Each structure stands twice: as structure tokens, then as C-alpha cells.
Chains A and B, each alone.
Chain A
Amino acid sequence: MARPTTMIPIQTNQLRKALADRGRSIASLEALLGVSRQAVNGWFQKDRIPPRKLADIARELKISNEEFDAITMKRSDSLVPLFKIERNKAAEDEIEQKVLSVAKDFFLLHESTSLNTPKGFVRIESDDPSVTSEYILRELKLSREQLTLGSVIQSLENLDIHVVFYDFGEEFVNKKARAASIRKGRKSVIFVNAYEAVEDTLSRIIHEACHIFSEHNEHLLQYEKFCDSTAKQTITPDTYFIKNKGVLETAFSGPIQRTPLLVREVANTLGAAYLGVVLALKENKIISKNVERYLFAVHHKTEKSRTRIIDIIQDVEEDPFDFMIASLADPDRRKFFKLQTVVKNALILDKISIGRAAELLNVDSATAEELSSHWKSQNEK
């Protein structure tokens, strides 16, 4: 039995216009493409056309990009990414497009390969970062003491908010685009730049979760500041520093060389980053100017040696096949490999081309092919 022809939706009025602008009739398409009148009439009645025929019309009639966009319907469910960018600059188009294309594939693949039924969340309507922070913790069903990267990622996933770590390339690093969030209906993806330090990641995720829970739908400076404050109040809450002010003041008035160690102890207790704790100590007037300068200097000195996400999700020394198999099987690393897990499922179900899988897994296509065969045979077993 012949397979039904796959057709794509078009705006027939726009195609009619493009033909008329060139002094052509609909009937002229029969000779141009070597098809029957019945076929051409069918396209115009159904507002759908075989894609190759559309490409042939565009080539033969020298249709412009703008005309082509008008003919092919724009989907209404367009995605809008919100970026956390250093100094609140706008995200470059190139970065935005890259994130959008990964998001589009993520949603498509996730929807067609996943069977989970998420619970959804309640929209937060507050302009107080402390209150919003409490709301977020409640939605995540976590206490402050339970806040870790793993627990937050898992809780967000239960709400159909997925955290994806991805290497967007060197240009992403230079533009200092740290994270992005994209919503589609009740499902969201938080992208974290893989060049971020692991210890900063929790703050980036809470910042993006704040955008999602608050249903922000555009990139405004006021939203960015609000979500920064919310992330800060979630991870390094003023209440902690006020409550422990006496003890902390005593500890930080000791030998200055010990203070970075003390900061790390507080950071470990809170699940916070070194710099976040220093800023909180400064804002709560716990440390002197001298200690503050010293702590910042230590941060600048050690900043480049911090473990980054990319150091976890890529290993240039190990064979990429072995690395990917081991990483996806390792429960400790699994939280960093959400996108790769979705791609794995998509490969098993033949929902993704090997080339696209290779791009998303950041491996060469031969390795993607090997992984595909391996996972398919494992799945069959």
C-alpha cells in the first residue's frame, strides 16, 4: 500500500499572491512541477503541500525568504527565552537562536519519549524576594537545609521544569550569558551554561525558577533584579546571617588567613557559593572592609580553578563513547545529563537524526551512531 504523502501547512493566499506577482496562475504549477491539476487543486483546498513541491516552486519562481516565511505558516506556540546575562545586556541573536533550537528539540523529544505526568505549579504573585523565596521552597517541597543542586533539580523535574546543562560554545562564554529559561505551556526548560562553575549553579537555577514561577514573559531589568534577590534570599537568606551574627562576627574577627575557610564552611552549610556568602557577610555588616577585600582577592585568585559543569559533562581524554555510557549510568552524574538522557530515549525511538544527536551530545556522528546502536540493543534486551 502506498504511504500517504506527507504535506506541510501553507498559507495558500500568500502562495496565490506570490504567483500573481509573477504573472502566473495556479494552473501554471501543473506544467512547472509536472503534476496533475487534481494534485494542485488538492493543495489549495487543504492548505497543505508536499514540501519538495514547495521548495521547487520557490526555486523556480525565485521566491524571496520573506515571501517563503509568509507562505509557510509560523507556528503560534513560539518560544521566548529569558536570559540571565552579566550586566543585564540583551542576549545576542545568535545565542538566542541556539538556545531556542535546543529548546524546540528538547520539548519535541521530551514530549514524544517521556511518559511522566507532571503536577504543575501555582503562579507566585509577590514583589518581595523573601516571600517569593518561601513560595519557591514550598513549591519545591524542600526546606532550606535540604537545598542541594540534586534535590532542587529533582524537585523542579517533578513540576515539569527541566534543568539542562549545555555547552553553547565559546561565544556563549564571552557574552557571559549564564542561564536561560524557556516555557512552553506548563513545561519549562532551564538552560545553564556549561561553562559556569558548579558552585554557582544553584543560584542560577533558582534565579530562572523565579522567572518561571512568577510567569515572567519578557526580559526586563526589574525582573532580573527581582530574581537575583530571590535567589540570594533562597540560598543565603538574611535571616540566617542575622540569627548567627554574633557567632559569625567573632569567627571572622580571627586571623585573616582563616577567613576563606570559614566562608567555605558557611557555604557548605547553606549549599551556597563562596562569593554568595562573602556578599551576604558584607551586606549584613559582619565582616570588616579589610576582611572583605581579602576574601574578594582570594575569590579572584581561585576563580579560574573552580570545577565547571563542562568539566563534568565532557572529557576530552576519555573515548566519547565510553564516557557517555558511563556518565548516563552513574547516579551521581545523572542530574547533569538530562538533555543527553532525552537524546538517548529519542535515539532508541528513532525520533532524532544521528547528526542532531551528535550535535546535542557534543560527540562526533560516528560516536552518536555507536551510542544509538548500543542503546537500541540494550533496550531490546
Chain B
Amino acid sequence: MEKSKRKVRLLTDTCSLMKLLAAGDKLFASKALQIGDLVVHPVVFNETRKWHKTKKEKYKNELSTLNEVKSTSGIRVSGTLKSINEKTIRLTADEIEKAIGNADIEKISSAMVHGMSLITNDGPMAEIAEILEIEVWTAEQIVIEALECKVLSKSEVESLIKLWASRNEKAPSKKDKGSFQKLGIKC
């Protein structure tokens, strides 16, 4: 899908969020990125609060940065629109024989109503969102964009990728690996 210009991008999973927060708060500054700002869905904020103490310790620095980043208020959908969007998302998931969670449905619904893009590294969720004509980005694509618009330096990106690997974070997709390699970055 061709990515459109300047669209707010909604972070929908803690995996992508932690990957991006590992770079500090640079990526979250207003207008730091050319294509669109990053915002965090309130549900994702709540999820990190429920983490086990070992996970909170592992991501201590990221959680501290997250406290500085605001979640987007007024993003949640209600009323008939909410239930019709939910039904549409469920029907879409059924059609492609994928199971999707209530929290994921809420995040996709928010993106549909507010015309946002999504950032997720979750394959089934990305597939459902794309069918619903929502642009989907991975955390790696955001980092590449940050490198291209000089928000992050090459050495910062390299150390970020090393950090992800050392933490056993989900490996970048083949496509994203290829994009990094084109920029001379090993991963």
C-alpha cells in the first residue's frame, strides 16, 4: 500500500512501543518525523501498568520515557459507530480465518474513525487492518524513517538493533531487514 502524507500513527502494541522507546523520546517529539507523529493508544498504556515486575524491570528506562509521552485522549470510539466498527472488524477477521482480540478491535476501530495509520509488528492484526484500508507501519519502518530524516544517526540505529537482539525482541521481517541492509545497516 502506498503510504500517504502526514498522518498520525497510532502505536497499538507494547512490542513496537518498547522497540521505539528504546531510542528515547526523540521519535515522539511533535513533527520529528516527516510522515506523521506517533501517538500511543490508551489501552497500550494500561497494558504496561499490568506487567509482571520482571518485565517492568527489563523495560525500566522505556517505561520512564513513556511517562513523559502522552496518550491520545478522546481517541476511543463509542455508540453505534463503535459497535458497527467492531462487527465489521470481526467479520473481516472471520473472513480470513483469524482470531482477533477485543483490545485489538478497539485500536483498529480508533484508527478507522480518526483516519490514523497503525504501528504494529503483529502479523494477523496488520493483515486485518490493511484489509480495512488502514496504513500499517512496523517499528523498524519508523526507525528507518527516523534515520532518513536524521532524527536518529546511523550509529544510534545500529546500537538500537543490537539492543533489540540482546533482548530477544521479535526479529525484523525480511522486508525490513532488506531496508536496513540497503542503508548499510546489518541486522
Q: Does A55 contact B (CB under 8 A)?
A: yes
Contact with A along B98-121 (1 / 0, CB 8 A): 111111100100001000000001
B119 to chain A, nearest CB (A): 13
Contact B88 A355 (CB under 8 A): no
Q: Does A364 contact B (CB under 8 A)?
A: yes
Contact A352 B168 (CB under 8 A): no
Among A7, A51, A64, A350, point to the contact of B124 (Cβ < 8 A).
Answer: A350
Q: Does B68 contact A (CB under 8 A)?
A: no
Contacts of B81 on A, CB cut-off 8 Å?
59
Supposing A355-B122, A369-B14 touch, asked if A58 and B170 sit within 8 A by C-beta, the answer is: no
Contact A65 B91 (CB under 8 A): no
Contact B83 A54 (CB under 8 A): no
Q: Does B84 contact A (CB under 8 A)?
A: yes
Q: Does A370 contact B (CB under 8 A)?
A: yes
A45 and B174 CA atoms in complex are apart in Å by: 39
Contacts of B97 on A, CB cut-off 8 Å?
108, 112, 351
A 183-226 contacts with B by CB, 8 A: none
A 328-374 contacts with B by CB, 8 A: 346, 350-359, 364-367, 369-370, 372-374
Contact B55 A8 (CB under 8 A): no
Contacts of A63 on B, CB cut-off 8 Å?
84
A64 and B171 CA atoms in complex are apart in Å by: 43
Contact A364 B124 (CB under 8 A): no
A1 and B81 CA atoms in complex are apart in Å by: 34
Q: Does A292 contact B (CB under 8 A)?
A: no
A324 to chain B, nearest CB (A): 12
Contact A356 B170 (CB under 8 A): no
Task: Give the residue among B55, B99, B104, B124 with the most A Cβ atoms within 10 A.
Answer: B99
Q: Does B143 contact A (CB under 8 A)?
A: no
Contact A51 B92 (CB under 8 A): yes
Contacts of B13 on A, CB cut-off 8 Å?
354-355, 365, 369
Contact A365 B14 (CB under 8 A): yes
Contact A108 B99 (CB under 8 A): yes
Among B14, B18, B131, point to the contact of A51 (Cβ < 8 A).
Answer: B131
Contacts of A364 on B, CB cut-off 8 Å?
14, 47, 50-52, 55
Contact B87 A72 (CB under 8 A): yes
Contact B103 A54 (CB under 8 A): no
A351 and B125 CA atoms in complex are apart in Å by: 10
A339 to chain B, nearest CB (A): 12
A373 and B164 CA atoms in complex are apart in Å by: 13
A62 to chain B, nearest CB (A): 8
Contact B125 A355 (CB under 8 A): yes
Contact A51 B91 (CB under 8 A): yes
Q: Does A281 contact B (CB under 8 A)?
A: no
Contacts of B83 on A, CB cut-off 8 Å?
65
Among A55, A369, A372, point to the contact of B88 (Cβ < 8 A).
Answer: A55
B 40-83 contacts with A by CB, 8 A: 47-48, 50-52, 54-55, 80-81, 83
Among B80, B100, B133, B170, point to the contact of A353 (Cβ < 8 A).
Answer: B100
Contacts of A139 on B, CB cut-off 8 Å?
none
Please, which residue of chain B has its CB at the minimum distance from the CB of A354?
B122
A146 and B125 CA atoms in complex are apart in Å by: 45
Contacts of A370 on B, CB cut-off 8 Å?
168
Q: Does A87 contact B (CB under 8 A)?
A: no
Q: Does B15 contact A (CB under 8 A)?
A: yes
Contact B99 A105 (CB under 8 A): yes
Contact A59 B84 (CB under 8 A): yes
Q: Does B183 contact A (CB under 8 A)?
A: no
Contacts of A72 on B, CB cut-off 8 Å?
87, 91
Contacts of B161 on A, CB cut-off 8 Å?
none
Contact A353 B101 (CB under 8 A): yes
Contact A353 B87 (CB under 8 A): no
Contact A354 B125 (CB under 8 A): yes
Q: Does A320 contact B (CB under 8 A)?
A: yes
Contacts of B51 on A, CB cut-off 8 Å?
364, 366
Contacts of A373 on B, CB cut-off 8 Å?
168-171
Among B52, B54, B89, B102, point to the contact of A359 (Cβ < 8 A).
Answer: B102
Q: Does A319 contact B (CB under 8 A)?
A: yes
Q: Does B96 contact A (CB under 8 A)?
A: yes
Contact B131 A352 (CB under 8 A): no
A186 and B128 CA atoms in complex are apart in Å by: 30
Please, which residue of chain B has its CB at the minimum distance from the CB of A359?
B101
Contact with A along B148-187 (1 / 0, CB 8 A): 0000000000000000000011110000000000000000
Starting from the known contacts A51-B88, A354-B13, 5 additional A-B residue pairs (CB-CB under 8 Å) come to: A54-B88, A55-B85, A354-B125, A359-B103, A365-B14
A-B contact pairs, 13 of them (CB 8 A): A51-B88, A51-B132, A63-B84, A68-B84, A351-B98, A352-B124, A353-B99, A354-B122, A355-B102, A355-B107, A359-B101, A364-B47, A367-B55
